[in-house]
Amino acid sequence: MKIAITGATGFVGRYLARALVAEGHEVVLLARGRDRRDEGVRQLPHATFVPIGLDDEAQLASALAGCDAVAHCAGINRELGQQTYRRVHVEGTRHVVAAARQAGVGKLVFVSFLRARPDCGSPYHESKWAAEELVRASGLDYTIIKAGMIYGQGDHMLDHLSQWFHTAPLLPTVGMADKFVRPLAVADMVAIMRAALVEGRLSRQTVAALGPDELTLGDAVRQVGRAIDRRVITFRLPVWLHYAAAWVFERTMVTPLLALAQARILAEGVIEPLPAADSLPADLLPTTHFTDDQIRRGVPAPGRFGLKDCRCFARFAKA
């Protein structure tokens, strides 16, 4: 099969690309090309890298020509300049849908968020929901995957926690009450996407994807610390303080330690979809447990936060 992936240089996109290429599929990698964390994905065999965004419908249709399916993985968790939630999630999805129809693509798989919903006061959640509605109304055969907290090597969660724990032993959790998470291994997410793209399963369904283990956010954080041999002390702080910190991080860090959307996500917990979604069939239910070994495989080499993580320093270094 020939399968296109938007956001192909991002976390989920590049894992999906590698899995599809390993099976012998032809892959079209669509991305702006600004994520340089894994240069190797661009040189995969049977893969074509097309450096475009989601703004040009004609270019997208040309790139999707001859494709049997498209995995729409492109998304952002903070707004930066012209890259707003509406432009990327809503208008971008509108263009992908229109281009897929024009190119005669048979299947569209869209990566959404577990609790994406309308009228909830979060631009991130609401924009993901608006994108879901565009996909459902597209007339295409689609699968929407409302994913929980995805982790794996190269993610932001394990990467940032590891760096933070090598910088400081203290970490505040969001809110004054326990919130629960069900970490989802990226390999399990890719398996669900593959079933929809390659086998045509989950047709016209919106499914929830969550890991098999339910933990409090504090327990999950401490487990990451133990897995990398760092003693971590967690304590609770009100949600509004996390919003204030996230506001600062978004304006000062290259990749924020915590973004406003992430603060909202953690404040709600990540264990059940809103609105309710279809259940996955038994053979597609995620089975990878959030173990110390699994965590160690996902964390980067030990390192601390420093000047390189500050936006002002990064701009100076480029100059």
- Centre a 10 Å sphere on the Cβ of residue 251 and count the other Cβ atoms it contains: 11
Residue 197, pLDDT score: 98
Q: Which domains does the chain have, with CATH numbers?
A: 2-152+183-209 (3.40.50.720)
CB atoms within 10 A of CB 97: 25
pTM (two decimals):
0.94
Four-residue CA torsion sign, 83, 87, 90, 94: negative
Q: Any idea what the Cα angle at residue 158 is, between residues 152 and 160, rounded to 5°?
A: 140
Any residues with CB less than 8 A from the CB of 135 and at least 6 apart, and which?
72, 93, 97, 108, 110, 142, 144
Q: For residue range 6-37, what is the model confidence (pLDDT) as tens digits?
A: 999 999 999 999 999 999 999 999 998 766 66
Helices and strands of the chain, counted as H and E runs: 12, 13
Local confidence band at 39 (pLDDT 50, 70, 90 cut-offs)? confident
Q: What confidence tier does 239 reach under pLDDT thresholds 50, 70, 90?
A: very high
Quick one: pLDDT at residue 243? Answer: 97
CB 92 within 8 A of CB 31: no
Supply angle C-alpha 196, 120, 131, rounded to 5: 35
Is the per-residue pLDDT at 75 higher than 60?
A: yes
Contact yes or no for 98/134 (Cβ under 8 A) = no
- Position 35 scores a pLDDT of 64
Question: Which band of pLDDT confidence, cut at 50, 70 and 90, is reported for residue 316?
Answer: low
